[in-house]
Structure 1
Amino acid sequence: MVEELAQADDAVAACVDAAAWALSEDDLVGALEAAHRLEQRLAAVKLALVREVDGRGIARAQGASCTAVWLRERLRLTVPAARRLVDLATALDSGNPGVRQALADGVITLDQARVITDTVTTVQTTAGAEAADKAVGVLVEWAGQFDPTLLRKLGTRILDHVAPDLADAATQKALDADAARADRDRHLTLSTQTDGRLRLTGILDAETAGLLRATIDPLTAPSGPDDTRTPGQRRHDALTDVCRLALRTGELPDSGGEPAQIVVTTTYDELTHQLGTGTLDTGPQLTPEVVRRLACDAAILPAVLNSTGQPLDLGRQRRLITGPLRRALVLRDKGCAFPGCDRPPRWCHAHHIHHWADGGTTNLTNAVLLCGHHHRHLHHTNWTVRLANDGHPEFTPPTWLDPKQLPRRNHYHRRT
């Protein structure tokens, strides 16, 4: 087998160096399908090898706690991916020869094989081996037409085809099995990058996925014709808005005896002169522009430090645009005041027209409601805002957008 795989490796290496651009359209499509089929057949070989390694106990003999951990070190896989390989290899070796053969023949994919083995296991538990064998044939046939997601949905009704008299009870068991699998696999990993950013990875169960989509989907639409953010950036900013709203409610559990909050430390001179950076309590540093934007709608706690940075005195915390003042601002602006934006008040920050750090006052005539996106937009572009003679905010675009710089208003909220 080692020699055969070495020959196959040489053949694949030759294909890597081949000029795909020289292929005709038919040959190009054919080569793609052949490469895909070969990938599945190699997956069948790999699973057989994984099963043998697991069965012999090689992982423990070499000092690993389990085969999944050994595979992580040996093949540089994640533990969840390695565990899925071990689970599928075991399932294919335990009474699923039809699925194993279909994968070896390249007629189903690795993901389809997982779906089929999960479904067949449920069928066998519910209706016995004969129904399970029939289910394999039906599911493999369906795999030629449907992707793994649709195949899993169709699999919930497989007993309608192979054991109709047991279909209702089996459907419920299949749903219970899916729920148990979702409960087992759910996780969220937060990985801090060297520059302070955070990488999010994970799998959400169906309920949490529904809650997340219901929460962020209304916030991911472009906020206007000048919104150049990618869909991924809009989802990122929507998550930011959701977190801000959660913090604003005051209903989150305390953290170390304090309300849930983010803390930014900077000096007065750096804040007023837009120099230097601010530091989050978790360590990462923020640019002066971000610090000033956060200070628009925040609680300010003045502190006197000695020459070594030790606190000597903490003044009274000063809240900015909150309480009755924010309610008055909501009554006036009714939502994000930026032209064309439909974000409601609960998604908005209170922005100082003349920045607080520059001596701006904290009152209704120096404030405007802005959603997270337009708050960032106003701080980082040449748009300006002022209150017109009637007391409502109007925005002046930069010259590149409108050479005449005619003031614009948000008419969306005025109509409602």
Structure 2
Amino acid sequence: MVTAIGQLRAAVDDVVDVSPWALSEADLIAALDAVHLLEQRLAAARLGLVREVDSRGLATAQGAASTAGWLRDRLRITGRAARHMVAAAVSLDAGPAPARSALAQGTITVEQALVVVEAVGALPVEAGPEVADKAAQVLVDLAAVHEPIALRRLGARILDHVAPDLAERAEAEALRRAEERALTHRHVTISEQPDGQVRLSGRLDGETAALLRAAIEPLCPPSGTGDDRGPGQRRHDALAEVCRLALRTGDLPEHGGDRPQLVVSVALDPLVNRLGAGTLDTGLRLSPAAVRRIACDAAVLPAVLGGDGQVLDVGRQRRLVTGPLRRALVLRDGGCAFPGCDRPPRWCDGHHIRHWSDGGATRLDNAVLLCGHHHRVVHQGDWTVRLGPDGRPEFRPPAWLDPHRSPRRNLYHRRC
């Protein structure tokens, strides 16, 4: 083998010395296909060598803690790549012969071969070795026209092709196990980060994931609609909108059904200053801009604290865009009043044109409906809003967008 590898190295030298630009289109494609095939065959050979190193215990004999650790140092690869290489070598060695043979011939990739091994390994015991071999060969044949992700989907239903009498029962059992795993491992973690952001992570079961997608996808406009937010930002904002909608229903338990409330803690002096930075009950600090934005359509309860932080008095709710005022806003604006927005009223907040914290009154002539996204846009300060001579909202864009800052209106909700 060592001699053959030396000869292969000399042939590779001849290949890398050739400049691809000199090849015709046909030769360029043929060369690419040939190099890819040889790469897979060499990968098969490498995995065979790794499996032999591992089975002999060669790495530990040389003082390494594991074969993966030895490979990491010797081949100068990451620990993750080394562990994957060892796992792949072990899996393929124990996997079906058709997968190993196809990889050695270069007709499938390592990733496809591992998909075949995984699919065959997931077959029920009662399928038997004959069905397993047949399934492996069918999947190897399908690998000629399907990439790994599609091949994995086909592998999940391979019994439909090779053993239909077992397929329904096996699928039911596989779904049951999958649901049990999802139920066991489901979790959501909300963790505050040092930079003031909050990290949301977790794993959802299939049903919950479907519910989440169904809830946020209508709130995620596709790209190319004039929305410069990235996909992740659109999903973030859609999740926030869903939470606002849930809070508005009043059906959540305990305090969940209330509108968001901002408690303003002050000393014994009167409330004479603008709203400053705020602190949520979780301890997270909010900028003055975020506090003012939340205060637009939330119940504000002033609280007076003693020197030791003890609550001495909690005032009554000061103002809220609700009841007859909100109904009047809905009749006037019809939904989010920002130009071009199609968000309906139930997804909107009541925004004070002159901030309530700046002395703005809670009246129809000082309020406008804005969806969550455009509420943030307006609070960022580049866009301004006012009521026109006819009492309807009009927005002035920033100078970088329109040097003349000509007023714009939302015509979407005015269909009659």
TM range (shorter): 0.7 to 0.9
d(CA) in 2 for partners of 1:411, 1:85: 60
Which residue matches 1:311?
310
Which residue matches 1:8?
none
Deviation, 1:253, is 4.0
d(CA) in 2 for partners of 1:252, 1:89: 52
8 A Cα contact 1:124 1:131, kept in partner:
no
Deviates most, 170-179 or 311-320: 170-179
Supply the AA of the counterpart residue of 2:411. Answer: H
1:115-172 deviation per Cα after TM superposition (whole angstroms, max 9, x unaligned): 4334323434352210111111111222232233322332344234323444444454
CA RMSD of aligned residues (A): 5.4
Deviation, 1:357, is 0.4
Q: 5+ residue gaps in structure 2?
A: 1-18, 69-77
In the TM superposition, 1:365-376 aligns within 5 A as: 365-376=365-376
Secondary structure of 2:350's match? Answer: strand
In the TM superposition, 1:66-85 aligns within 5 A as: none
Which residue matches 2:363?
363
d(CA) in 1 for partners of 2:79, 2:337: 51
Supply the AA of the counterpart residue of 2:361. Answer: T
Q: Which has the larger radius of gyration?
A: 2
8 A Cα contact 2:264 2:303, kept in partner:
no
8 A Cα contact 1:41 1:105, kept in partner:
no
Supply the AA of the counterpart residue of 1:242. Answer: V
Q: 5+ residue gaps in structure 1?
A: 1-18, 69-74
C-alpha spacing 1:357/1:123, structure 2 compared with 1 (3 Å): same
Which residue matches 2:74?
none
Deviation, 1:363, is 2.3
Which residue matches 1:193?
193
In the TM superposition, 1:168-187 aligns within 5 A as: 168-176=168-176, 178-180=178-180, 182-183=182-183, 186-187=186-187
Deviation, 1:371, is 0.6
Normalised to the residue count of structure 1, the TM-score between the two structures is 0.72
Question: Across the two proteins, how many residue pairs are aligned to each other?
Answer: 406
Identity of aligned residues (%): 54
Which residue matches 1:320?
319
Which residue matches 2:15?
none
C-alpha spacing 1:201/1:45, structure 2 compared with 1 (3 Å): farther
C-alpha spacing 1:353/1:41, structure 2 compared with 1 (3 Å): farther
8 A Cα contact 2:47 2:88, kept in partner:
no
Normalised to the residue count of structure 2, the TM-score between the two structures is 0.72
Supply the AA of the counterpart residue of 2:373. Answer: H
Secondary structure of 1:301's match? Answer: strand
In the TM superposition, 1:279-358 aligns within 5 A as: 279-307=279-307, 310-318=309-317, 320-324=319-323, 325-358=325-358
Deviation, 1:303, is 1.8
C-alpha spacing 1:260/1:338, structure 2 compared with 1 (3 Å): closer
Supply the AA of the counterpart residue of 1:320. Answer: R
Which residue matches 1:406?
406
Deviation, 1:209, is 2.8
Runs of 4+ in 1 over 6 A off after TM superposition: 19-33, 43-56, 84-90, 222-225, 257-260, 268-271
Which residue matches 2:72?
none
Secondary structure of 2:343's match? Answer: coil
8 A Cα contact 1:191 1:199, kept in partner:
yes
Supply the AA of the counterpart residue of 1:128. Answer: G
Deviates most, 174-183 or 142-151: 174-183
